Amino acid sequence: MSERGMFDLSGKVAIVVGGASGIGEAVTIGAATHGARVVCLDLKHEAAQSVATRAAAAAAPGASCEAGVLDIRDGAAVERVFNEVNARFGSVDVVVCTPSINVRKPILRYQIEELDRVLDVNIRGNFHVLQAAGRIMTAQKRGSIILYSSIRSQVVEPGQGVYAATKAGILQLSRAAAAEFGPYGVRVNCVGPGVIETPLTAPIKADPNWYNAYAAKSVFNRWGTAEEMVGPTLFLASDAASFVTGTLLVADGGWLATDGRFTPPGMQ
């Protein structure tokens, strides 16, 4: 296979969960343009349908995109929808799961209802996706599952304790699944974004001081875009990553690589 062909998704069936906005939207369109038959799933059906229409218009020859509704908190629904996709297309080759929620609040002020809400989506929801995808892929003896962790699985700041714990949990779930599913030819990995301009981070972007402080943590002095997460995700989805599993692919603009923004004298 040529190096160009290694990144080709032609003939693969890809499910993108959370595909109606942000990173999921960009990945949906990117997967279709790289040849996949994509199913874009989200809580918001109209938004998912709009993304699917644009992805289909941009799709490579033989590729396609359609939309559906899914709430990852409902394990039975996840199982049903994934099985329906498998029955219809004959396989599920790639699953990407992007949804997460965050309640920014110090631990001492956290309400149990808020804790439950974050855990329900970030841990329980991702577990449902991992389990449903794993059942199909281990049976067919191939596939790539890509969950979304974060730099917050590695470093944290005040108010991010619960979110960071769930992102670390997602990473550990993916590593365990990589070990369990690997003998069946199934790969499981995480993407670890830095600060990305998405609806989830819109409140931060609206505060210039907060926005600029985060931008300064990147060696590029800027935030990332949703489109910049497409490459890392599709790499993990493709045959180019055939020996990559159980890993966190960090895409953070150098956030974790640097311990400060001060440049010592003579180092300019």
Residue range 3-251, CATH number: 3.40.50.720
Residue 163 annotated among the catalytic residues of the structure: yes
The pLDDT tens digits of the residues spanning 24-61 come to 999 999 999 999 999 999 999 999 999 999 999 999 99
Domain boundaries, the chain: 3-251
Q: Which of 110, 163, 211, 214 is the catalytic position?
A: 163
**Residue 39 and residue 24 in contact, taking contact as beta carbons nearer than 8 Å:** no
* Average pLDDT along the chain: 94
**Residue 6 and residue 240 in contact, taking contact as beta carbons nearer than 8 Å:** yes
Measured in whole angstroms, the distance separating CA 146 from the mean position of its chain's CA atoms is 6
Predicted TM-score (pTM) of the model is: 0.95
Mean pLDDT of successive 10-residue stretches along the chain, which has 268 residues: 74 98 98 98 98 97 97 98 98 98 95 98 98 98 98 94 98 98 98 91 86 92 96 98 98 89 60
